[in-house]
Amino acid sequence: MSQPLLQLHGLSASQRDGRKLGRPVLKDVSLHLDKGETLCVVGRSGAGKSLTALAVMGLMPPRDMAITGGAIRLQGEDLLNANPKRLRQLRGPRMAMVFQEPMTALNPLMTIGRQIEETLAGHGVTARRERAIEMLKRVGLSGAARFHAAFPHELSGGQRQRAMIAMALILKPLLLIADEPTTALDVLTQKQILGLLRELTAEAGTAIVYITHDMGVVADIADRVAVMHHGRILETGAAADVLAHPQCAVTRALIAAGTDISVKPQNKNLSGEPVLTVEGLVKTYEAGKSLRRNGETIGAVRGISLSLRSGRTLGIIGETGSGKTTIARSIMRLTDPDSGTIHVGGTELTALSGLRLKPYRKKVQIVFQDPYRSLNPRRTIGQSISEGPCNYGLCRKTARERAQRLLTLVGLTEDVIDLYPHQFSGGERQRIALARALALEPLALIADEPVSALDMATQATVLQLLRDIQEKTGVAIMLITHDLRVAAQMCDDIALLRAGRIVESGSAAQLFSAPQTAYARALLNALPGRPAKHDNKRRASG
Amino acid sequence: MLSMSFRQGGASLTAFALILLTFFAAKSDGSAMADEQKTIRAVMHAALRVTDPLATTAYITRNYGYMIYDTLLGTDENFKIQPQMASWSVSGDKRTYTFQLREGLTWHDGSPVTAEDCIASIKRWAERDTLGQRLMEEAKSLEAIDGRTFQLTLKRPVGFVLQAFAKLSPYPLFMMPKRIAEMPFGTPVTDYTGSGPFRFVADEFKPGVKAVFEKNENYVPRDEPPSWTAGGKHVKVDRVEWIVMPDAKMQVNALRAGEIDMVEHTPFDLLPLIEADARIMIRAIDPFGSQIMGRMNFLHPPFDDAEVRRAALLALNQKDFLQALVGNPAYYRECAAMFICGTPLETDIGGQTLLNDTMEEARAALAASDYDGAPVVILQPTDVGVVKTHPIVAAQLLSDAGFTVDAQPMDWQAVVSRRASQKPPEEGGWNMFFTIWNATDLLNPLVNHALNGRGTSGAWFGWPDDPKLEEYRMAYAAAVSDDARKAIAKDMQKYAYDQVIALPLGQFLPQTAWRRSLSGVQDSPIPLFWGLSKN
Amino acid sequence: MSPRNALHMLSIRSWYRPMSLPRGMTAASVSAAAVLAAIAALAFFAPFIAPHDPTFVAPTVRLQSADQTYLLGTDSFGRDLLSRLIYGGQVSLLIGLGTAVLATAAGMLLGLTAGYFRAADSLIMRAMDAMMAIPSILLAIAIVSLWGASLQSVLFAVAISETPRVARLARSLTLTARSELYVEAAQTLGTSPFQILWRHVIPNALGPLIVLGTYICASAIILESILSFLGTGIDPQIPTWGNIIAEGRMYIEIKPSLVLWPSLFLTVTVWALHILGDTTRDRLDPKALTRKMADQ
Amino acid sequence: MTGFVMRRIMMVFPVMGFVALFVFLLLHLGPGDPAAIIAGDHATPEKLAEIRAAHNLDQPIPWQFMTWIAHVLHGDLGTSLLSGLPVTTLIASRLEPTLVLAFLTLAFSTAVALPLGALAACKRDGIIDKLATGYCVLGTSVPFFVVAYFLVLVFAIELRLLPVQGYPDAADGFGNLLLHLVLPVATLSVPVIALVTRTVKTALLDVLSEDHVRTARAKGISEASVIVFHGLRNAALPIVTVLGNIFALLIGGVVVTESIFNLPGIGRLTVDAVLARDYPIVQGIILLAGAAHVLLNLAVDLLYLKFDPRVRYQ
């Protein structure tokens, strides 16, 4: 076939507000994709990857975005000038899309079966029920009839994404656009979904445009790769070439962040005294109030013991819902544990509350995951940082001076003290949050997924900052993360969590080099872009 | 859910379609309903709520009484007393009155009207009515002679027996079955059995909405032509519906559209809308009309002081009150006669200042008095159209004269209860209120409530305690010649104005409007539904 | 990150921009603000603007047409319509604002308590449910008739029936704020519950509550006019737009201006309040808030 | 699910308890002697004493409340002071016109507002949207009772197409009855249509901006299916919720509309009772209106349960 399956030529788009055009969001994007090929579009958030995909599908929000130039051709057919009816005919049989959030991308009030059948009905296909069930089987949802009648919320994230894939592929499209389909999923599930995609598209010869920010995924599945940045294509090429010889800095940064695990060098400070000890911590949620998934209460903690030593970093690693955050919240007494003890500097905390708890609160501080929500938008960052010291009786002036000092410590300048949070980027806000936590000069710092909301490049600088601060202040850090790479870079000790229990713990070096449990091994294997060391690649995808 | 919203939408669409369909259907045979039954739909001046004619002086309840009950005697348009249910004879010594019920009188339930029933009814009435009370004080006995005859024996001859029995208003003497008449006061009358020309349709009675009357097929009218409450009460329609329509504008609209046949009291301001309408007839059927009356409280300052009262009298002028209420001079009359203009007792003596602007004199008089600026609490009803304008006008005029006025808004029912309070104004009492009297209730010193001077024990609200008034009343009752009565009334009025006992603030003629399809509308102080026919 | 999330972030940022640029300003919102300012000025300076005493009764010049003395004519008591309209704004605005302030204050107190102190929650909210269950007009006319037809009782009656709406919103905003990370952060910093409410919860709940306040102001003005219309409102002698309409309705065919003018004033004022509320709401948050308000 | 249903149903009781308490306190917390208020204009001392005894007004307040509740639970709301009829009988005799008026208004308003709101949401900033948005604000701003008079003037007096007022017996022809209700329904619909349209538009816009609608579009199904099956269907529940809340507005409108058009419904009964100080009637009506509203909300919530699988699941 001489012409490519999909060709984007000089595609440009801008934000719009009514009739006015705003900031350009896509600038001269040119891409092409051949039949059966897998193209990964990589880039940081806001690079224009998703918009490109939506433009192809003709689903760009018409009120907010306008295409200002260029052409999109599918099998030579001009999509930008196709009428809506023609576009509808193409969507489904020719091109299909899988979205990032399988929960919101499915209609919550409609059964999975009906949503799949709707695609068929829209294109005049009969024997819909049979075909839908058949497709559900093929995406690995065993007991397909049950899934056919299920509503989206009754499924787990992975199952939902399988259903999405079933929906997208049921008409055997020539082109599948997958927009970060696994970002919201755990590594293990991610691996399965990737395998499934590969398998199904290979059978039908479907070409894939795969949008991701994760170079590891690229290494796993891409034939070719296109790197986007600020609405532009920076470089394209065969996946192997780009990974091996990245041309530009952005690509290199992405590769650095995403491809391999670098384990932190041994921490010499072995003798750090324990500042925080948790024994037999149990916290379960009432059935009525929790989110339940497949009958299993998530987020519960079922008997955790750990201890944090000054000057060292303990990593709590686990998938979503394994109870990591519950541990943090219990220690911070944002939630009351059912049983177990928490000792901070020798004092048992679970029995204390209110004013009696206050003197100990300052000894442990926390940095939350989401820097956009953890700062009060209506208070200046100076007020936010000095709030803690003020609560403990420090006079305003001193607290403000301390805030200024801390701002320098976390790599910002003193003169930003009277600005409001919205004037900062995510990474900067996380630094401010860190400064706020440090303002109370805690013995221990809990960092709950401190970088997962940040893009790769920013992640690295924030993590570096954490390490520096530990070096300067000797604070003990409990780092909660789902990301093995982050853990590897940061932690001296690791506790691997699964369903509320610690399945493996020990030094980081040991865990990453010689994992003891099957679960740990599986997790390591599932990391995208890693050559399979401990297991067989094919099997894992099955 | 989808089906649900569709079903709902579908239902409403269907309903809408139905409306449209029936619209045309109804249009095409709009006249079909008319022949079934002859029904007069009338909007009366008030809603019927109380169905015991002795429980309230409300005119609507009185009028209701005339529909379903009959009276022993009637009064004709010349104020002559005529037999109605009964004929009478008086003994030579004028101490024994014998009443003979005519043939064929039955209650609505079919049982005959007996003398016993009448005696029970008279006794019940006499408990309430002041004239009745006086009568009973003079009575030695009231006994049944046989089933249709009874006798009233007096201790001494008095002149008002027949006047009392034929009384038009208030508290006419209605005949009730004994079982109802003997029920204690306070028990609501829910047995609507009477012997009148109409029967009450209890099932369709919705207080405040409508009251329905049916022709009493068994009623035997007298042979004489009808004249007020005397003569033959020939009912010429099947039903009468008294409809309550709270919105005055809608009353006129409904009359114009032919949905109702009559509006008893048409708002004066709206008369221009229907005056030119050939289908509608407008007339004051009550020849005397009504009088606006202001009343002061004699128990409490400042109106316990006659000087202050006189200053207030000077401040008021009838024209402002009448203008505010009526507007069109064709329907009102400035008249200072306490016993109503157009009657033998008419005189404007003592009241001339009401007809002129004497504000300057009022200010001077008030300044000369002992008035200390204490607020005058005026009860101001806000809901009933015919009484709500006066307090506003009065407040304006009194404050112009230098009074401190505290007009307290409330609904008419609240006025009715509040005016009964003898407490000082600051403890829930009052200084001044306004009402409307039907002229028939003011015609002479005997019936005129406002001129009763018996103080807290017997006078009308305001409670003037003035033995002189009682003397005038006694003298009037005892007077034998018309000239003597006139003279007494004149003196009494002069005295009453001097003491400012009552404030007649103008006379007006409520206008009744009806569709010309009604015929036989009688001029009468009581709205009469017999003799009315509809085509 | 998908564009939707990006937009979401964007909207969060702009939401929290403390009352900044006239971003949501439209022709409608500018004219609404102008109208309100004009009405408020008329009401405030009524004694200097109104050509006559609005309560001066002169039955001899009743129902006059517009002329040089009476610019809009007179009513059935001979009172000057224009003066009554101008003074009417005083009472209507007073009722509107008073209700909004009272209801917002009371509702906020209840809602914050319910939202922040779980123990009080169900008790307060069931009480609010109950209050909300009683249709506001019925409650208002009952209160006014029981307690007398004064400005205070109308104000109280209308405020009390609007309070649950505020309480519900305040509670849900508090609950949202409570689960905000910055509130949890404050907890870990040793900030006391009252300080948290004062520093973190209230400032962030204020915007939506003010929006609701403008709606309440609007509906209070309408409710007052309904009460007056039914004859269960403020003393008819006191000019309010509702009273003027109620008195003028009989003359709608004879002298329509008696109804049309007060209706116009009423409509324009309420319209302006609605527009202002809508604009502010849109500026606070294009989406999430709409949903929350719609639930009230 | 049954647990949820039970909990939701149980919630009705405390709410109703509070409603009853408010209604009770309304009389007792106001200024003045409750007996005097109940007695109204016939307030002789004997009558007051009688009323005190009959209503246990000499007892402690909580005890009074309990006995009152006991009466209410037995369906006894007292008797009207003026007519002497039981309050329940009076209310029952007035229910029909109110219910018919309210239902027809709701049905008519929904029939107009649903397509209007949907069109406005689908074609944002189009001419229909602009008109609808303008109407939404205007319809709730204009004093709708004034509109009634103009409707009557035009359609009943000038054009003579429709009757002016009244509520004929349905037995005399249902069509005739509907004809009489055209103008009242139109009047009352002025604000209701505005509110429902606004609700439909907001709810639909909300849903249409959700991800699953984009998914539906990506499937290549027709835009109409997207709007109906993914838009309106999902927006239906919030819309129904608001319809439940419109009850209060509807009651308020009904009171006014009934007074203007002379419909013998609950609204007029209320106004009459208030003006006549017939307190037991006022009390009874408020209590029943509250109960109706509570039950309506219960019904809406149970509807949620039936139609939203997410709620059912919890």
**Does residue D31 lie within any of the structural domains?**
yes
Question: What mean pLDDT comes out for the span A433-437?
Answer: 90
pLDDT at C266 over 90: yes
Alpha-carbon distance of A140 to A145, in angstroms, equals 12
Q: Do B19 and D262 touch (CB under 8 A)?
A: no
Range name among A27-31, A208-212, B66-70, C141-145 with the lowest pLDDT average: C141-145
Residue D188: predicted pLDDT:
93
Alpha-carbon distance of A442 to A477, in angstroms, equals 10
Chain B CB within 8 Å of residue D83 CB? yes
Secondary structure of B10-34 in the HEC alphabet?
HHHHHHHHHHHHHHHHHHHCCCCCC
pLDDT over 70 percentage in chain C: 87
* Cβ count within 10 A of residue B376: 26
Residue D37: predicted pLDDT:
62
pLDDT at C5 over 80: no
Residue A42's SS3 state is strand
Q: Do C267 and D31 touch (CB under 8 A)?
A: no
Chain B CB contacts of C149 below 8 Å = 382, 409-410
Question: If pLDDT is split at 50, 70 and 90, which confidence band does B22 have?
Answer: low
Q: Do D221 and A118 touch (CB under 8 A)?
A: yes
Alpha-carbon distance of D292 to D270, in angstroms, equals 16
Instruction: Specify the CATH number for the domain of residue D302.
Output: 1.10.3720.10
Instruction: Specify the CATH number for the domain of residue B338.
Output: 3.10.105.10
Q: Which of A45, A387, A422 sits opposite C191 (nearest CB)?
A: A387
**Which residues pair with residue A233 across a beta bridge?**
A228
| Cβ density class C158-195: b for 16+ within 10 Å, e for less | bbbbbbbbbbbbbbbbbbbbbebbbbbbbbbbbbeeee
pLDDT over 90 percentage in chain A: 9
Residue A530: predicted pLDDT:
60
Helix axes B385-401, B318-325, angle to 10 degrees: 150
The residue of chain B nearest to residue C253, with distances taken between CA atoms, is B273
Q: In what order do the strands lie in the sheet with B262-266?
A: B198-200, B210-215, B239-243, B39-43, B262-266, B511-515, B280-283
Chain D CB contacts of A18 below 8 Å = 125
Residue B448: predicted pLDDT:
84
Residue B125's SS3 state is helix
Alpha helices per DSSP H over B432-481: 467-478
- Shared domain for B484 and B518, answered yes or no, is no
**Nearest-CA distance from C111 to chain A in Å?**
21
Residue C22: predicted pLDDT:
43
Per-residue pLDDT tens over the stretch B479-528: 778 888 889 999 999 999 999 999 999 999 999 999 999 999 989 888 99
**Given a contact as 3+ CB pairs under 8 Å, which chains touch D?**
A, B, C
pLDDT at B33 over 70: no
- Shared domain for B116 and B211, answered yes or no, is no
- Shared domain for D105 and D201, answered yes or no, is yes
End-to-end CA distance of chain D: 7
pLDDT at A476 over 70: yes
Query: Which residue from B506, B502, B503, B512 is spatially nearest to B333, judged by alpha carbons?
Result: B506
Residue A268: predicted pLDDT:
60
Alpha-carbon distance of B413 to B416, in angstroms, equals 5
Alpha-carbon distance of B387 to A50, in angstroms, equals 76
Residue B192's SS3 state is coil
CATH superfamily of C91-288: MetI-like (1.10.3720.10)
Q: How many domains does chain D have?
A: 2
Question: If pLDDT is split at 50, 70 and 90, which confidence band does B221 have?
Answer: very high
pLDDT at B5 over 50: no
Query: Which residue from D9, D285, D235, D269 is spatially nearest to D118, judged by alpha carbons?
Result: D235
pLDDT at C285 over 80: no
**Nearest-CA distance from D173 to chain C in Å?**
31
**Nearest-CA distance from A240 to chain D in Å?**
32
Range name among B120-124, B473-477, C221-225, D115-119 with the lowest pLDDT average: B473-477
Alpha-carbon distance of B162 to B144, in angstroms, equals 18
- Shared domain for B247 and B321, answered yes or no, is no
pLDDT over 70 percentage in chain D: 90
Chain A CB within 8 Å of residue C130 CB? no
Per-residue pLDDT tens over the stretch A227-241: 998 889 989 999 888
Chain B CB contacts of D85 below 8 Å = 190, 207
The residue of chain A nearest to residue C180, with distances taken between CA atoms, is A373
Question: What mean pLDDT comes out for the span D234-263?
Answer: 83
Q: Do D248 and C245 touch (CB under 8 A)?
A: no
Range among A447-456, A478-487, A511-520, C106-115 rated most confident? C106-115
Question: If pLDDT is split at 50, 70 and 90, which confidence band does C147 have?
Answer: confident
Pairs of residues, one from chain B and one from chain D, whose beta carbons lie less than 8 Å apart? 155
Let me know the angle formed at the C-alpha of C87 by C83 and C93, rounded to the nearest 5 degrees: 150
Chain C CB contacts of B324 below 8 Å = 57, 59, 62, 76-78
Per-residue pLDDT tens over the stretch A411-433: 888 888 888 888 888 888 888 99
Do residues D94 and D265 make contact, with C-beta atoms less than 8 angstroms apart? yes
Residue D193 carries which side chain, given as an amino acid letter? I
pTM of this structure: 0.82
Per-residue pLDDT tens over the stretch A77-131: 888 888 888 888 899 888 999 988 777 888 888 889 999 998 888 888 888 888 8
Residue D311: predicted pLDDT:
64
Chain D CB contacts of C135 below 8 Å = 247-248, 251-252, 289, 293
pLDDT over 90 percentage in chain C: 21
**Does residue D282 lie within any of the structural domains?**
yes
Residue B187: predicted pLDDT:
76
Q: Do D230 and A107 touch (CB under 8 A)?
A: yes
Residue B481: predicted pLDDT:
80
Let me know the angle formed at the C-alpha of B403 by B401 and B405, rounded to the nearest 5 degrees: 125
Chain C CB within 8 Å of residue D149 CB? yes
Question: If pLDDT is split at 50, 70 and 90, which confidence band does B232 have?
Answer: very high
CA pseudo-torsion sign A78, A81, A83, A88 = positive
pLDDT at A298 over 70: no
Record the tokens describing residue B318, joined without a space.
């009838």
Do residues C268 and C35 make contact, with C-beta atoms less than 8 angstroms apart? yes
Which of D94, D116, D165 is the best mutation test for B, with the most CBs of B within 10 A?
A: D165
The residue of chain B nearest to residue D238, with distances taken between CA atoms, is B1
Residue D80: predicted pLDDT:
79
Chain A CB within 8 Å of residue D308 CB? yes
Q: In what order do the strands lie in the sheet with B332-333?
A: B332-333, B503-508, B290-296, B432-438, B376-381, B405-410
The residue of chain D nearest to residue B51, with distances taken between CA atoms, is D83
Query: Which residue from A32, A13, A33 is spatially nearest to A23, judged by alpha carbons?
Result: A13
pLDDT at D312 over 70: no
**Nearest-CA distance from D122 to chain C in Å?**
16
What are phi and psi for residue A478, nearest 5 degrees?
-110, 115
Alpha-carbon distance of D165 to D158, in angstroms, equals 15
Contacts of residue B27, Cβ cutoff 8 Å, sequence gap at least 6: none
Alpha-carbon distance of D279 to D285, in angstroms, equals 10
**Does residue D117 lie within any of the structural domains?**
yes
Range of the domain at B445: 290-508
pLDDT at A297 over 70: no
pLDDT at C284 over 50: yes
**Given a contact as 3+ CB pairs under 8 Å, which chains touch B?**
C, D
- Shared domain for B407 and B362, answered yes or no, is yes
pLDDT at C240 over 80: yes
- Shared domain for D158 and D302, answered yes or no, is yes
Q: Do A391 and C18 touch (CB under 8 A)?
A: no
Range of the domain at A119: 104-172
Range of the domain at D133: 87-313
Which of A49, A367, A387, A449 is the best mutation test for C, with the most CBs of C within 10 A?
A: A387
For chain C, the C-alpha Rg in angstroms (whole number) is 22
Q: Do D218 and A109 touch (CB under 8 A)?
A: no
Alpha helices per DSSP H over chain C: 3-15, 27-44, 46-49, 81-116, 118-133, 136-147, 151-178, 181-188, 193-196, 202-230, 241-248, 257-284, 288-294
Chain A CB within 8 Å of residue C254 CB? no
Which of D25, D41, D129, D274 is the best mutation test for C, with the most CBs of C within 10 A?
A: D274
Q: Which of D19, D274, D285 sits opposite C133 (nearest CB)?
A: D19
- Shared domain for D34 and D172, answered yes or no, is no
Q: Do A151 and D210 touch (CB under 8 A)?
A: no
**Does residue A113 lie within any of the structural domains?**
yes
Range name among A49-63, A212-226, A399-413, A527-541 with the lowest pLDDT average: A527-541
pLDDT over 70 percentage in chain B: 93
Range name among A70-74, B93-97, C67-71 with the lowest pLDDT average: C67-71
Residue B96: predicted pLDDT:
93
Secondary structure element (H or E) that encloses residue D112, with its range: helix D87-122
Chain A CB contacts of C2 below 8 Å = 50, 99-101, 179-180
Half-sphere exposure of C85 (CA within 13 A, CB side): 25
Record the tokens describing residue C68, joined without a space.
């040089």
Per-residue pLDDT tens over the stretch A11-44: 999 887 767 777 888 999 999 899 889 999 988 7
Residue B31 carries which side chain, given as an amino acid letter? S
Q: Do A391 and C203 touch (CB under 8 A)?
A: no
Query: Which residue from D267, D257, D191, D143 is spatially nearest to C92, judged by alpha carbons?
Result: D143
Chain A CB contacts of C14 below 8 Å = 422
Instruction: Output C20 or B380, whichever has higher pLDDT.
Output: B380
Residue B7: predicted pLDDT:
40
Residue D32: predicted pLDDT:
61
Do residues C285 and C24 make contact, with C-beta atoms less than 8 angstroms apart? no
Chain C CB within 8 Å of residue D12 CB? no
Q: How many domains does chain A have?
A: 1
Alpha-carbon distance of B112 to B193, in angstroms, equals 12
pLDDT over 90 percentage in chain B: 52
Question: What mean pLDDT comes out for the span D18-47?
Answer: 70
Query: Which residue from B398, B392, B435, B396 is spatially nearest to B303, judged by alpha carbons?
Result: B398
Q: Do A46 and C1 touch (CB under 8 A)?
A: yes
- Shared domain for B308 and B410, answered yes or no, is yes
pLDDT at C295 over 50: no
Question: What mean pLDDT comes out for the span D172-179?
Answer: 84
Average pLDDT, chain C: 81
Residue B333 carries which side chain, given as an amino acid letter? R
pLDDT at C116 over 60: yes
Instruction: Specify the CATH number for the domain of residue B253.
Output: 3.40.190.10
pLDDT at B107 over 60: yes
Q: Do C133 and D199 touch (CB under 8 A)?
A: no
pLDDT at B261 over 90: yes
Residue D185's SS3 state is helix
Average pLDDT, chain B: 87
Complex-level ipTM: 0.81
Do residues A189 and A158 make contact, with C-beta atoms less than 8 angstroms apart? yes
The residue of chain D nearest to residue B428, with distances taken between CA atoms, is D32
**Which residues pair with residue A9 across a beta bridge?**
A71
- End of a domain among D18, D38, D73? D73
- End of a domain among D40, D73, D106? D73
Chain D CB contacts of B243 below 8 Å = 166, 262
Do residues D142 and D135 make contact, with C-beta atoms less than 8 angstroms apart? no
pLDDT at A462 over 60: yes
Question: What mean pLDDT comes out for the span B438-454?
Answer: 84
Which of A86, A87, A95, A118 is the best mutation test for D, with the most CBs of D within 10 A?
A: A118
Chain D CB contacts of A119 below 8 Å = 219-221
**Does residue B39 lie within any of the structural domains?**
yes
Alpha-carbon distance of A496 to A482, in angstroms, equals 10
**Nearest-CA distance from C203 to chain D in Å?**
26
Question: What mean pLDDT comes out for the span B99-110?
Answer: 93
Record the tokens describing residue B202, joined without a space.
């209890």
Question: What mean pLDDT comes out for the span D9-29?
Answer: 85
Q: Which of C63, C231, C250 sits opposite B267 (nearest CB)?
A: C250
Residue B117: predicted pLDDT:
95
